[in-house]
Chains A and B, each alone.
Chain A
């Protein structure tokens, strides 16, 4: 099957990347400022205040329109490689996001995140395994859905599939379900967050726990507050998200054990936790941790934590880059969403997906509101 030959594909990616860069430049320099100044219903800035649209959501909408309207479901061959490559920028941006934290901040925030994320991962796993039995889902389908809904959407679904002998159709259903649900949450979360008057800390903890997919967590956090600084929604949400992503190999191991415990015949490939850790551990998390370490050692100067010295010029520059990199990546994320594919989701997997997704989303909000006094700011 196709692998990614990064350096050979780079020149071919230029036309698509150029369109994405142009789109984001137009959005940030003309569309967003126009929306901020436009007088609608006698109120200046109504478009921004009411819709909560910022360059992040506008970028995703532009990507959605490119794929589903302008290109009628398929990105033209000339632009295809650039659009695919742009999605890499999301994870590249998350690596750079490591410059927002010091090891001390990670330990402070991470301890709470580990508790919350751990609790929600286990709860979701148990809920999906139970609902899978109630709805009579195939065991492989249940296993793929369990990890997709508990951890990190697409990454977890595809990491689990080979270990539980899942068929292509199982993974396709799981991905369509989680992406469909994720798109909805990505757009409504900023509204809910603002309506409830959540702080960046509360909002970040909520979406980092309740939204299923990494890219969508990032988009929802930046849609709430586009600032990329210590303590902003995105800095909190991503720590939560990374804690969840790290649990992929462990969850694959647990679900694989569950899957094989119910099988009578000995067949297929079974892997130990050590092998799964090497194979399934997300590479970008290592990059993120290296960045945190370098930041803690002062490699980029002062981070600009509240009450401390101002951020260094290098850190400021990195943060500016990140806003652009995330912007480009999220245009690519929008263009990855094919409504035709999502419309095919249905049946019992969709019911289980929605039940678990909504439960997790609402419960995460309730828990964050309950423990708001115990959440630690960085």
Chain B
């Protein structure tokens, strides 16, 4: 089976290394386009109930702190992708922002995506608790081919 465009979710941690390795292998086999996607989770402000009456900097200070952590993860994901996809003809790394499950669902259900590869523990490094069930949500709502890895 040939997949013209493969999408793999990345978070810069070892959790998605196998998924990335598999995606690269498939892309090499089929001469496919490969996209590595990192999603900055923007749900933290709502999760912590951010508001301006708490203090001048308590909650916003935390959001900046988490922002820095996510930036570092994004950078790690970029490096992870660059290293694994070296030598591939058509490979690109993309950064998106939003609810990771929603963003990924929109991308994987896009007719331009032929296969999405997702490792179960991806997005758990700097994501909110509900992202632990991201794989289940993706499996339930996917309308295009999805490969879930442990």
The chain A residues found within 8 Å of chain B, CB to CB, are: 1-4, 6, 73, 84, 87-88, 91-92, 154-155, 158-159, 161-162, 166-169, 171-173, 175-176, 248, 278-284, 287, 336, 338, 340-342, 344-345
Contacts and interface: CB of A to CB of B under 8 A. Distances in A.
B49 A281 contact: no
Given A87-B49, A175-B48, 6 more contacts: A3-B63, A4-B50, A158-B61, A168-B125, A172-B128, A284-B53
B62 A171 contact: yes
- Tell which of B46, B53, B61, B128 has the most Cβ of chain A within 10 Å: B53
B58 A248 contact: yes
Nearest to B102: A74
Contacts of B57: 278-280
Given A91-B51, A336-B49, A344-B133, A1 B44 contact: yes
A340 B53 contact: no
B65 A344 contact: no
16 contacts: A1-B42, A1-B66, A3-B63, A4-B50, A155-B55, A158-B59, A159-B55, A161-B65, A162-B61, A171-B66, A173-B129, A175-B47, A248-B58, A279-B57, A336-B49, A341-B130
A62 B70 CA distance: 34
A283 B55 contact: yes
Given A2-B42, A3-B60, A280-B58, A168 B53 contact: no
A92 B127 CA distance: 30
A155 B128 contact: no
A180 to B, nearest CB: 11
Contact of B56 (A2, A278, A344): A278
B55 A4 contact: no
Q: DSSP class of B's interface residues: helix, strand, loop or mixed?
A: helix
A340 B125 contact: no
Contacts of A161: 62, 65-66
Contact of B51 (A87, A175, A278): A87
B48 A158 contact: yes
Contacts of A280: 55, 57-58
A34 B129 CA distance: 39
Contacts of B133: 340, 344
Contacts of B129: 172-173, 176, 341-342, 344-345
Contacts of B50: 2, 4
Interface string B31-46: 0000000000010111
B62 A162 contact: yes
Contacts of A166: 65
B62 A88 contact: no
Contacts of A91: 51, 53-54
A154 B128 contact: no
A344 B132 contact: yes
Interface centre among B48, B50, B62 (most CB of A within 10 A): B62
Contacts of A341: 47, 128-130
A173 B19 CA distance: 26
Nearest to A167: B69
B67 A1 contact: yes
A86 to B, nearest CB: 10
Contact of B52 (A4, A73, A154, A342): A4
Contacts of B47: 172, 175, 341
Given A154-B48, A280-B55, A1 B64 contact: yes
A100 B5 CA distance: 65
Contacts of B60: 1, 3
A281 B70 CA distance: 26
Minimum-distance CB pairs A-B, first 6: A344-B129, A158-B62, A162-B65, A279-B57, A1-B63, A1-B67
Contacts of B75: none
B150 to A, nearest CB: 18
B45 A155 contact: no
B126 interface: yes
B124 interface: yes
Nearest to A153: B49
Given A2-B45, A91-B51, A167-B69, A155 B130 contact: no
Contacts of A167: 69, 125-126
Contacts of B46: 84, 336
Contact of B59 (A155, A278, A338): A155
Nearest to A215: B49
